Amino acid sequence: MSGARKSMERIVALSKRRGYIYQASEIYGGINGFWDYGPLGAQLKKNLREAWWEDMIMNPCGGKLGPNGEPVQTVPLDTCIIQHPRVWEASGHIAGFNDPMVDCRETKARYRYDHLQVYVPSWAVPRLAGFSTQAADGTSPRLTATDDGKPFFAFMADSPSEAKQKKKAEKAHPELTVVLLSSIPEALWPRVLAPDAEKTGSLTAPRAFNMMFKTYIGATASDDAVAYLRPETAQGVFVQFKNVVDTTRVKVPFGIGGTGKSFRNEVTPRNYTFRSREFEQMELEFFCHAENAAEWYAFWRDYRMSWWQSLGLAGENLRLREHDREELAHYAKDGAGTSDIEYRFPFTYPDFGELEGIAHRSNFDLKRHQEYSRTKLEYFDSDRGELLPNGARKGERYLPDVIEPAAGLDRGVLAILCEAYSEDAARPSPEFLKLHPRLAPIKAGVFPLVNKDGMPEISQKLHQELARKFSRTGFIEHDAKSTIGKRYARMDEAGTPYCFTIDGDTLQNQTVTARDRDSGGQERIALDQVANFLSDKLGL
């Protein structure tokens, strides 16, 4: 189904039914932009996090040599969610981490000014740019002499009100064009009907809205005690750069990486876990000399793309896209590379949504923190500089450039679930998850064919053996209830790669039935070889 649009509603339903993802605070009606991971979801998320940790920190790039011909060197770091407020001043988040917002006076809803779209009659579009607030004869503003005065209907893409607004717009205007609210002169906003509003003209003028969550440190909630929940994990790395260099034997080029929670007060969180207010990141800040930054950028861009492909996102739903010049972030210098690894989610289809960004951040962050903290953060590179008479180098002090592969863990889990979701009406369950074995939260199911005749005792012993061996990577399920077909169906829906069934032949010749999730095929293997069989199949 890689080329077809999958049903997001079915993916969400299966994720809830099999204990992958729940709405946070669900019994109280939920809280928008926050999600909890159930038993299988928590393990899937852990497996993806640990796959990143293994391949980016403990054994970087699987031992692949970097462009300098040497093994890639990285070290881990775990920094606090709350940092000194000056960290966010230096990084530019307090001054620049703002989105333009408009409010609806009637519904009290808030919308991104640059995301809110409007259905307008097609004949009016060419006249929007040249619209003036007053006609030449002093009369009230009109688009044309035959303007019908009917509303323009605003909507947010993928929102519940989008279809309703479109239906209203089609009834009012036979031919429609979609434009951004920002392209409509404010003098015409009294004509705009906001999503879910009953009367036109309810939208306020746009204003800046800072996306950081504010909190207070200490007993008094005074201005002097203001702090923020971090909107990204990267800044903690930059402020600890000097300590890492001083307390370890790392040498440029090297990386500092880690995983952790970040928080952004998204005004319109949407698309399940794709855009949430609390989320987890997997980020590496790789420090190198500016002369070598371009080749390290290309190295990390290509490796990160291949990494996602190795975990099952290998089809046409995954792409690598280089940023256009106008997309570059404030920290990127001229000529710096920035690219996104994007996945075609069901809610973005046929377009793509960002999964990971790889950016050449230049030395912007270290330079800013050096300026604001008045602490020297320059790196002394003894391998650079002019050659001295004794054959040594004079050395060079510089602020390293940074290449940043920054991935969203929650978005990664969502992409893995969407890609794994499959349908086959001929199977015990018409829906199943074709999860990569490395990530599957349940590694195997162990079943007695019937719950008698000594079969449960053998299956329980096998279950205990496998559980001890594979407990670090996932669950081993034991289930003695329902028909074997229903048990297979439950395991298929959960994404379990293999099932082992103890049956009458086991009692006679000490063999079991091994069933493959993807093909549904079965084979007989020796009971005492099940652990080795599973280990080989899982690549563990």
| pLDDT tens, per residue, the chain with 540 residues | 445 789 999 999 999 999 999 999 999 999 999 999 999 999 999 999 999 999 999 999 999 999 999 999 999 999 999 999 999 999 988 876 777 889 999 998 888 888 899 998 887 887 776 555 455 555 445 555 456 778 999 998 877 788 889 999 999 888 899 999 988 888 888 889 999 999 999 999 888 877 899 999 988 878 889 999 999 999 999 999 999 999 999 999 999 999 999 999 887 788 999 999 999 999 999 999 999 999 999 999 999 999 999 999 989 999 999 987 655 555 555 556 899 999 999 999 999 999 999 999 999 999 999 999 999 999 999 999 888 888 788 889 999 999 999 999 999 999 999 999 999 998 888 999 999 999 999 999 999 999 999 999 999 999 999 999 999 999 999 999 999 999 999 999 999 999 999 999 999 999 999 999 999 999 999 999 999 999 999 987
Q: Residue 3's pLDDT is what?
A: 58
Q: How far apart are CA 381 and CA 290, in angstroms?
A: 13
**HSE-CB of 442 using CA atoms within 13 angstroms:** 28
Domains of the chain: 8-97+216-419 (3.30.930.10), 99-209 (no CATH), 425-538 (3.40.50.800)
The answer to whether 285 touches 103, Cβ cutoff 8 Å, is no
Q: How far apart are CA 8 and CA 415, in angstroms?
A: 11
pTM for the full predicted model: 0.85
Q: How far apart are CA 338 and CA 329, in angstroms?
A: 9
Q: How far apart are CA 311 and CA 309, in angstroms?
A: 5
Q: Residue 133's pLDDT is what?
A: 47
Q: Residue 26's pLDDT is what?
A: 95
The residue assigned the tokens 């201005």 is 223
In the chain, how long is the greatest CA-to-CA distance?
101
First-to-last CA distance in the chain?
Answer: 28
Six token digits for residue 7: 């049903």
Residue 65: exposure state from Cβ atoms within 10 A (0-12, 13-18, ≥19) = exposed
Please give the full DSSP string across 89-152, using - where no structure is assigned. Answer: HHHTHHHH-EEEEEEBTTT--EEETTT-EEEEEGGGHHHHTT--SS-TTSPPP-SSTT---PPE
